[in-house]
Structure 1
Amino acid sequence: MELDLGGEQPLYQQIRDQVVLAIATGALREGDHLPPIRELAAEFGIHFHTVNKAYDLLRQEGFIRLSRKSGAVVHTSRSEADTEVWQHKLRLVLAEAVAKGVARAQVEAAYRAVLAEFEHGSSEDAPSQSGRDA
């Protein structure tokens, strides 16, 4: 995991995004443990509340489970509400591309390339579910 300590994106969001990317690529799988909050904070020299905020956000979004006994564990639950959330986010990203004048072919090529990055890692163990194909 790499953080841009001087970047514009909040550190908790960077941590959240890095974990989601690791899950998508298969670097993190269901049941894997994330580093303890204080350990990760010490590793990057940041306040433990920053890591705690990232982990709490990941928990709220259904990417991890948190418990005092086992810590933070990858748990990729899927629900209809989750589908609506990511479709809303996708709509906003596509709206930004359209508003910036990005050509449809370029948008399609970009999303196909990104999906291709994730196919290997996330599809090996994932059961096939209708409606998941883009």
Structure 2
Amino acid sequence: MLLEIDTQSQTPIYQQICNQLIIGIATNKLQPGEVLPSVRQMADEIGVNMMTVSKAYTLLKNDGYILTDRRNGTKVAEKQSLEPSFQERFLKELELLLAEASIHQLSENTIQEEVTQIYQKFEQ
């Protein structure tokens, strides 16, 4: 599994790792129960510090996207049910994105079309 890390991005590398793994899970490129590389292996594959990968894995574990077991390694977790805390966070982040879209004069129709196209990637 090779992630694409943009060292010039303003997004921290650990967040890039998290984002790409979440998208991989949502698009079924990563299946529930699939074993992920160890922290050391992932760091070597993408050329980053092990602590960076460890931070990403910790965040993903805390959010329930992955499971870690000393004997069996790190695995993709089953898809989750909707929790109120996630829904609250989602709505706050969506509100901010829509506010920025409004400031940049992105039309509601364009936003809805883009959301539909993006969401369809996760439904396949």
Q: Same fold (TM over 0.5)?
A: yes
1:87 equivalent in alignment to 2:94: no
Counting aligned pairs with the same residue, the percent is 33
Q: Distance in 2 between matches of 1:93 and 1:70?
A: 39
Q: CA RMSD in A?
A: 1.3
Letter in 2 for 1:77: Q
Partner of 1:77: 80
Q: Distance in 2 between matches of 1:12 and 1:41?
A: 11
Q: Write out per-residue CA displacement over residues 31-75 of structure 1, whole angstroms, 9 at most, x where no aligned residue.
A: 111111000101122110000000111111111112212222111
> Which 4+ residue blocks in structure 1 deviate beyond 6 angstroms?
none
Partner of 1:115: 119
Classify the secondary structure of the residue corresponding to 1:65.
strand
Q: How many residues align?
A: 120
Any stretches of 5+ residues in structure 2 without a counterpart?
A: none
Q: Distance in 2 between matches of 1:105 and 1:35?
A: 41
Any stretches of 5+ residues in structure 1 without a counterpart?
A: 121-134
Classify the secondary structure of the residue corresponding to 1:69.
coil
Classify the secondary structure of the residue corresponding to 1:4.
coil
Q: Distance in 1 between matches of 2:36 and 2:88?
A: 27
Letter in 2 for 1:106: T
Q: Tell me the TM-score normalised to structure 2 length.
A: 0.88
- The correspondence for 2:101, drawn from 97, 104, 127, is 97
Q: Distance in 1 between matches of 2:50 and 2:36?
A: 14
Classify the secondary structure of the residue corresponding to 1:66.
strand
Q: Distance in 2 between matches of 1:23 and 1:88?
A: 23
Post-superposition offset of 1:8? 1.8
Letter in 2 for 1:98: S
Letter in 2 for 1:11: I
